[in-house]
Amino acid sequence: MFDKIVAGFLSIITAILSAFYVPSQLTPLAAPHGKKTVSQQISVMSYNLRFSGEGDQSAEARAPLIKEDILRYKPDSFGAQECTDDWFKILDGTLTDYAHVGVPRYLFFGEASPVYYLKNKYDAVKSGTFWISLTPDIPSRFPDAQFNRVCSYVVLRDKSTGFEYAHFNTHLDHRGAYARIEAAAIISKKISEICPDIPVVLTGDLNETPDSEMYKRFIGCGFVDLRETAEIKENVTASTYHAYGTVDDEIIDYILTNPGFLIKAQKYVTDLSVYDGVYPSDHHPVYASFDLQNYRTGE
C-alpha cells in the first residue's frame, strides 16, 4: 500500500517535471591532448549484488558465488551496486586483494555504489562520492527519485607503471525518469572537474535500456559503450537484469569509457553463470578488458 502511495506521488512529480523541467546541458568529455605516455590494458566489472534475500537468495548464501564470479576475472577494479553494510563486511572479508572507496546514499547508512580496486597494484590518488541530484555535493535526491542515489569514484595509479585511470560507479533511480535523464549532465560535469585529462571508466546499473533517452544522453556526452565496440563479445544480447531467471529483455548494466583515450576494446562479457540452479544475484555481472592511453602536457 505504502509503495503504491509513493509511486502515485512520484507520478505526480514526474508529470509536473514533464511540463516545466528542461534537462541540464551535457558537459562533453575532454579530448586527450599532449604527448602520449604509458598505455595499459585494464579490466573492469560492474555487479549489482542484490541487497538481500531469503534462503538460497540470501546474501550469505550467494556470497561465495559472487566471490567466484569476481575472482574468475579478477578485474583491476569493479563497481558494485546495492552494497549494504552487510555486503561491505562480506566483500572485505572474502576479496582480500581489494580495497574500496564509497559511502552510503544517506551518508551513514543505506546502499552504496563503491568502487573496489586491486590494492597491491594501484594507489588511490583521489576518491569521493557525489549525489545524483540538483545539489550533488550534499546527500540529496532528484525530485522524482524514490531514493538518494550516489556516484562514487577513484583515480587509480599503477604502482609499477604510473598509468592512471578513473573509475566512476553509480546506480540510478528505478522510478525517477528525470533523475536518470539528469544523471548524464551531473556525472559528465563532475568528470570534467575531477579528472579531465585521464581515461575514465563509468560502470553502473543505469536502470534503462540502450534505446532510452537516458542512454542517448550518456552517449551524447562522448561515452562509448564497450558492449558495442569490443572485438570479442560473449552473451552481449543477454538481459543483465534477470530477476533470478524470470526476465530476459533488460540490458541495464553498463561499462562505458571516454573514446579519446581508448586504444582497443578486447573483450566484453555478460557472465551468465548459475551454480546448481542458484543465481549469484538478480543481475548478471558485466566485464570488459581494454587498452587505454595516458597523455602528458608540458615539459
Supply the pLDDT for residue 267: 98
* Grid coordinates belonging to 84: 549494504
Specify whether the CB–CB gap between 181 and 213 falls below 8 A.
yes
Pair 105, 111: CB distance under 8 Å: yes
pLDDT at residue 72 is higher than 60: yes
Cα–Cα distances in angstroms (integers) from residue 261 to residues 31, 34, 185, in the given order: 8, 12, 20
Distance between CA atoms of residues 261 and 20, nearest Å: 37
CATH number of 2-296: 3.60.10.10
Q: What is the pLDDT of residues 205-248, one digit of tens each?
A: 999 999 999 999 999 999 999 999 999 999 999 999 999 999 99
CA 22 remoteness from chain centre: 25
pLDDT at 189 over 80: yes
pLDDT, tens only, 24-64: 899 999 999 999 999 999 999 999 999 999 999 999 999 99
Check: CB of residue 202 under 8 Å from CB of residue 181.
no
Contact assessment for residue 94 and residue 68, using Cβ atoms and an 8 Å cutoff: no
Mean pLDDT of the chain: 94
What pLDDT sits at residue 205?
A: 98
Give residue 23's pLDDT: 79
Q: 167 phi and psi, to 5 degrees?
A: -120, 115
Structure pTM?
A: 0.94
Q: Note whether 275 and 227 are within 8 A (CB).
A: no
Supply 254's cell numbers.
553498463
Cell triple for residue 129?
A: 562520492
Spatial separation of the C-alpha atoms in residues 223 and 30, rounded to whole Å: 10
Distance between CA atoms of 253 and 69, rounded to whole angstroms?
A: 16
pLDDT score of 107: 94
pLDDT of 9: 62
Q: Is the pLDDT of residue 14 over 90?
A: no
β-bridge partners, 33: none
16 has a pLDDT exceeding 90: no
In sign, the C-alpha dihedral spanning 196, 154, 129, 225 is positive
- Annotated domain spans of the chain: 2-296
Q: Output 21 or 109, whichever has higher pLDDT.
A: 109
By the 8 A CB rule, do 285 and 79 touch? no
